[in-house]
Amino acid sequence: MYSEKILTLSAGVGVVGLGYVGLPLVILVGQKELPVVGIDQDEKRIESIRQGKSYVSDIADYEILALLENGIITVSTDFGKLSSCAVIVVCVPTPLTAGKKPDYSCLINAACSVAAVLSPGQLVIVESTVAPGTTEGIILPILQSGGMKAGSDFFLSYSPERIDPGSREYCLSNIPKLVSGVTPACLNRAQLFYNLLGMTVVPVGTPETAEMAKLLENTYRDVNIALVNEMAQVCRAAGIDIWDVIEAASTKPFGFQAFYPGPGVGGHCVPVDSSYYAFFARENNEPAAFAEHARRVNSAMPQYAAALAREALAAAGKTAAGSRVLVLGAAYKKDVNDARESPVIKLIECLRSEGAEVGYHDPLVEKISTATGEMNSVSLDEITLSGYDCSVLAVAHSTFNLPWLAAHSSMLVDLTGSLPKQAGRVISL
Ligand SMILES: NC(=O)c1ccc[n+]([C@@H]2O[C@H](COP(=O)([O-])OP(=O)(O)OC[C@H]3O[C@@H](n4cnc5c(N)ncnc54)[C@H](O)[C@@H]3O)[C@@H](O)[C@H]2O)c1
């Protein structure tokens, strides 16, 4: 039986969706010496893994190569490979529709493909972020459509992923894992699985609770970042340094957690999940005023950042129209190669719409798509930098040489609180 296979570490594990969530999971499972099959519909990604090339900044090529060499991982576009696995973990994207509603098309497609190969005794775990009720209301009926029943014939769990891309402190194995099941037997098996991966498991009573807990975690971030973004604007207007304010408040040992202002909020999680919560609230005829206000404040930050660039140019006697502006960092946060929903793209679009000629440099993001077309990262050296009227430090990647940037930029807008202010040449958020 599959549960015994899980116990003896001999079970095969299938991971569906090999992105920022799924690929690190494949590596962790492989490193525990469990055979693992990674499934993705994107042939380019499958080929990249087969070549031992990572496209996720937290995973190094050598980690993939080591597991390929000892044959512990295989990857494919063929869902049929999942039929022999004891556990199938679904990590596909759950973005927003144009109308800011949850877009479950990838999740539904993946669930239908899993249902087509579902075998008795298998444990299916959904890790994608979803609104409360989705596991039981949408995924369960799809998996049961072939006549098998969850809790006896197969098992279904919801366990939201909490990874922190780019973090040196937190990785999959040291972040406590919320785990729920549609029945006690489902919960029991999912707990067993994550325990075998060495994770600290936090069992949660129902899938709805686990689904809502994930939305709370990320809406909490969106709301608190919006609060400091709003306060940063108030502080600038009043001549107070927001970074000093946050540092001072952070000395309080209880009841305060520091959040930092910036060009806005991006990535596939925080802005999306906050909108999922607002959608869920509307479905339940209740307001989600905090979440909706936070979205408005954070979404308007690129325009505010563009206004700071205008201020810097004005200090040098220039206007945005006709000036050259270099944006440093395009990822949605430091040390990741992910530019999805990045507010920096909006900042670039904003500056361009004002007539500025804009370039960007990001050592981790080679190319971005903007409303006016694709852009490639420019190389960064003294000559390049001197060709720009103003630089905007939007993301402070650890590899950036900040003193060098400060010394060689004619005007510099710092949205990250990383640079000392220097005789009027650095304008800080
Ligand atoms: N990125 C994060 O930091 C993060 C953190 C926690 C939770 N999440 C959640 O995890 C989920 C996955 O996010 P991600 O960032 O890893 O996404 P991603 O876009 O990086 O990767 C998803 C992968 O799924 C594949 N895919 C899509 N539909 C498929 C299908 N039907 N069958 C097979 N493969 C399919 C895509 O080709 C892609 O490679 C989302 O729900 C997200 O909200 C993401």
Q: Are residues 343 and 421 in the same domain?
A: yes
What average pLDDT score do residues 269-283 get? 95
Kindly list the distances between the CA atom of residue 181 and the CA atoms of 125, 138, 359, in Å, as whole numbers in the listed order. 9, 15, 49
H helix intervals, 51-94: 61-69
Residue 426: per-residue pLDDT: 85
Distance 136 CA to ligand 1 centre (A): 20
pLDDT of 350 over the 60 cut: yes
Confidence of residue 26 (pLDDT cuts 50, 70, 90): very high
**pLDDT tens digits, 213-259:** 999 999 999 999 999 999 999 999 999 999 999 999 999 999 999 99
- Residue 106 CA: nearest ligand 1 atom is 28
Q: Are residues 295 and 346 in the same domain?
A: no
**Rounded-to-integer distance, Cα 108 and Cα 131, Å:** 14
Q: Are residues 195 and 323 in the same domain?
A: no
- Sheet (strand 390-393) strand order: 357-361, 324-328, 390-393, 412-414, 426-428
Confidence of residue 173 (pLDDT cuts 50, 70, 90): confident
Q: Are residues 29 and 70 in the same domain?
A: yes
Q: Are residues 180 and 83 in the same domain?
A: yes
Q: Are residues 165 and 64 in the same domain?
A: yes
Residue 425: per-residue pLDDT: 80
Identify which of 37, 112, 113, 24 has the alpha carbon closest to the alpha carbon of residue 68: 37
pLDDT of 168 over the 90 cut: no
| Other CB atoms within 10 Å distance of the CB of residue 109 | 12
* Residue 165 CB less than 6 A away from ligand 1: yes
DSSP assignment of 161-229 equals: ----TT-SS--GGGS-EEEEESSHHHHHHHHHHHHHTT--EEE-S-HHHHHHHHHHHHHHHHHHHHHHH
Containing H/E element for 384?
helix 382-386
- Residue 272 CA: nearest ligand 1 atom is 43
Containing H/E element for 236?
helix 207-238
**Rounded-to-integer distance, Cα 227 and Cα 282, Å:** 23
What average pLDDT score do residues 333-351 get? 95
Looking at ligand 1, which residue's alpha carbon is closest to its atom 36?
Answer: 17
* Residue 105 CB less than 6 A away from ligand 1: no
Residue 103: per-residue pLDDT: 97
Mutation choice for ligand 1 from 43, 75, 92, 104, CB with most ligand atoms inside 8 A = 92
- Residue 109 CA: nearest ligand 1 atom is 31
Q: Are residues 17 and 67 in the same domain?
A: yes
Domain end (from 180, 204, 228)? 204
**Close Cβ partners of 90 (under 8 Å, ≥ 6 residues apart):** 16, 17, 107, 110, 111, 114, 124, 125, 126, 127, 128
CATH of the domain at 243: 3.40.50.720
Helix axes 207-238, 242-249, angle to 10 degrees: 130
Q: Are residues 400 and 429 in the same domain?
A: yes
- Residue 20 CA: nearest ligand 1 atom is 16
User: The whole model's pTM is what?
Assistant: 0.93
**Rounded-to-integer distance, Cα 347 and Cα 351, Å:** 6
Domain end (from 156, 181, 204)? 204
* Residue 14 CB less than 6 A away from ligand 1: no
Q: Which residue has the tokens 């469990």?
A: 34
Identify which of 66, 65, 88 has the alpha carbon closest to the alpha carbon of residue 12: 88
**pLDDT tens digits, 31-75:** 999 999 999 999 999 999 999 999 998 999 999 999 999 999 999
* Residue 22 CB less than 6 A away from ligand 1: yes
Q: Are residues 193 and 223 in the same domain?
A: no
Residue 424: per-residue pLDDT: 66
H helix intervals, 260-373: 270-283, 289-299, 301-315, 343-353
Give how many domains the chain has, as a whole number: 3
pLDDT of 5 over the 80 cut: no
Tokens (6 digits) for 325: 């502006």
Q: Are residues 179 and 262 in the same domain?
A: no
Of 403 and 276, the structure prediction assigns the larger pLDDT to 276
Residue 120: per-residue pLDDT: 94
Residue 258: per-residue pLDDT: 98
Q: Are residues 146 and 261 in the same domain?
A: no
* Residue 76 CB less than 6 A away from ligand 1: no
Residue 1: per-residue pLDDT: 52
Kindly list the distances between the CA atom of residue 91 and the CA atoms of 70, 128, 158, 252, 365, in Å, as whole numbers in the listed order. 25, 5, 11, 38, 23
* Residue 161 CB less than 6 A away from ligand 1: yes
Catalytically annotated residue among 85, 269, 350, 390 = 269
**Is 112 designated active site?**
no
Arithmetic mean of pLDDT over the chain = 94
- Residue 127 CA: nearest ligand 1 atom is 10
Instruction: Report whether 365 contacts 339 (CB < 8 A).
Output: yes
Instruction: Report whether 406 contacts 426 (CB < 8 A).
Output: yes
* Residue 157 CB less than 6 A away from ligand 1: no
- Give the rounded distance of the alpha carbon of 325 from its chain centre: 27
What average pLDDT score do residues 84-108 get? 96
Distance 76 CA to ligand 1 centre (A): 16
pLDDT of 3 over the 70 cut: no
Distance 428 CA to ligand 1 centre (A): 35
Q: Are residues 113 and 188 in the same domain?
A: yes
Domain span at 60: 2-204
Distance 353 CA to ligand 1 centre (A): 32
